[in-house]
Structure 1
Amino acid sequence: MARYLIGQLAKLCDVSSDTLRFYEKNGLLVPRERSESGYRLYHEEDLSRVRFILRAKAVGLSLEEIRELLTIRLEADQHSCAEVKAITQAKLDDIDVKLAELQRIRRALKKINDACCGEADDDASHCSILEALADEPH
């Protein structure tokens, strides 16, 4: 059975040792044993777990969502696929809300940007963007 020190595991996963310590601190990764000199020792399962965490982060899942998925993964026979899907569906719903808000912001910003003449030589004392953002009526 392969055993890795934290630096070796970090290198295999292309992350820093600090990242692995962060995952440990947040309960996502627990070293199974320590060497006689007290160094953390990790196994193949830990390598797989870190890669799972990294893929989950890459698709935008939070640490809490990843923690939930890891728990389900460890006790897969006690959970349903629907539970897993509910987590990803909730994330998709959050993203849709954020995208709608970003589209609203973009439309508003584009409207005031398009209204500005943007002449380089004009001073900004009558800039339509500044006026649109000011509290005072025009």
Structure 2
Amino acid sequence: MAKNYTRGQLARAAGVLAETVRFYEGRGLLREPERDSSGYRIYLGEDLRRLRFIRRAKELGFQLREVEQLLALRVDKQPDQADRVRFLAQSKADEIAARVRDLQLLEGRLRELVHCCEERVSTEECPILDALSKAGVSNDSAAATGR
């Protein structure tokens, strides 16, 4: 006999919060479950597999609208759908690579500011506070450090 789950049991088994299960139901990512005679929602093994799929996709950086697309493609067994899945994954990888580059630039700017601040004793001359006070800090960190 297949195992059934309450909302809390399903959430624990999938490694998410019960509120997350409720939210995904509301978004249509999870089906509306049947209820037992006591009114408890009863989830099935397929619900657990689907919830784990959603959680893993989110961990890889997919947004919920993208997860919806992946779930639809998972159900659609047409041969050309594999290309669509590959395209979505490649697009997400490219997006993450761009974010990593942006974060590396931010890290470099912050390190420059920290380096300029190492010899300062007073916050009146602090290049970090000065840069944060000016508009365009992300683009003007070199100017703020006096370079």
Per the TM superposition, whether the score is higher than 0.5 is yes
Partner Cα separation in structure 1 for residue 62 and residue 11 of structure 2: 21
Q: Does 1:68 align with 2:69?
A: yes
Cα-to-partner distance string for 1:48-82 (whole Å, 9 max, x where unaligned)? 11111111122221111111111111122375211
Number of residues of Structure 1 aligned to a counterpart in Structure 2: 136
Listed as ranges, the matches of 1:95-114 within 5 Å are: 95-114=96-115
Which runs of 5 or more structure 1 residues have no equivalent in the other structure?
A: none
Deviation at residue 131 of structure 1 after TM alignment: 4.4
| Identical amino acids, percent of aligned pairs | 38
Partner Cα separation in structure 2 for residue 133 and residue 37 of structure 1: 57
1:62 alignment partner AA: Q
Q: In structure 1, the residue corresponding to 2:78 is in which secondary structure?
A: helix
CA RMSD of aligned residues (A): 2.5
Q: In structure 2, the residue corresponding to 1:77 is in which secondary structure?
A: coil
- What is the match of residue 50 of structure 1? 51
1:43 alignment partner AA: L
Scaled by the length of structure 1, what TM-score is found?
Answer: 0.81
Which runs of 5 or more structure 2 residues have no equivalent in the other structure?
A: 135-142
2:124 alignment partner AA: S
Listed as ranges, the matches of 1:1-138 within 5 Å are: 1-77=2-78, 79-119=80-120, 122-132=121-131, 135=134
Scaled by the length of structure 2, what TM-score is found?
Answer: 0.77
Higher mean alpha-carbon deviation, 70-79 vs 60-69, is at 70-79
